[in-house]
Amino acid sequence: MTTPRSSLTAFGPVASPVSLSRAQGFDLRRISSREDWSSVRRLRFDALRSRGEIAENAERFHGDRYDAALNTNTFLLSRHGRALGTARSSVSCATRRWPLPAMDAFGHEIRSALGLDSTIVEASLALVDPSISSDPKNALFCLFKAPMLHCAAENADWLIVAVRDSQIGFYRRIFNMEILSGAESYLGMAWPRVLMGFAYRDQAPLLFKRIPALAVSDADEREFSETGIVSLHP
């Protein structure tokens, strides 16, 4: 069993992504308002619908029961007030064994491969506006600073994510994630998902050397705890 280091209660070389700093107008923060939720759910709908993952709906939004879970934070990436991306981060540990979104499809794999004594953070619904003009991978890098921060705050053993087959190579190459399952149907999406995992405490120091933009400092944790803002380093 592991113990969180802080009190965040809400909740081969690779080229670094382009810096997404506040000086350039970028902002990544935990959402807190009805307007934020509207932006997140519309962005999710647009991104998932553009990939044929979900059907049309009159409200043009996407959400699920995990959005309101006490172990979950949802984040919004914006630039000059325009929503560019969103991600969700959930935690489960031995003393707070909350359900994670991936447990619906991969409960057996999580229990057998990671163990119920592990502290696990799951990144889910990490999505980028399909109309973004710049490289969407840069925005995805930026979004992943949020679950990395959550891992640091919880002293996590694992960061997990459920991805489509076409994304396996990216997550393995960039984040050094390993495959933990076969493909399974996932939360009403049209395409199956594969569970992948990253042994955070073992792998994070190496990852942060390769991609400094993802590194989490004590100052980052304090800032998030006080303001809900995820620091984006220049």
Q: What are the sequence ranges of the domains in the chain?
A: 22-227
Position 52 scores a pLDDT of 94
Angle (CA) 185 75 221, round 5°: 120
Under-50 pLDDT residues of the chain: 1-16, 18
C-alpha distances (whole Å) from 26 to each of 21, 137, 154 are 6, 15, 26
Percent of the chain with pLDDT over 90: 71
212 in Cβ contact with 204 (< 8 Å): no
Fold of 22-227: Aminopeptidase (3.40.630)
Position 25 scores a pLDDT of 73
Classify residue 201 as exposed, middle or buried by CB count within 10 Å of its CB (0-12, 13-18, 19+): middle
CA 149 – CA 139 distance, rounded (Å) = 16
What SS3 state is found at 64?
coil
Position 53 scores a pLDDT of 95
Nearest to 53 by CA among 163, 195, 188, 170: 188
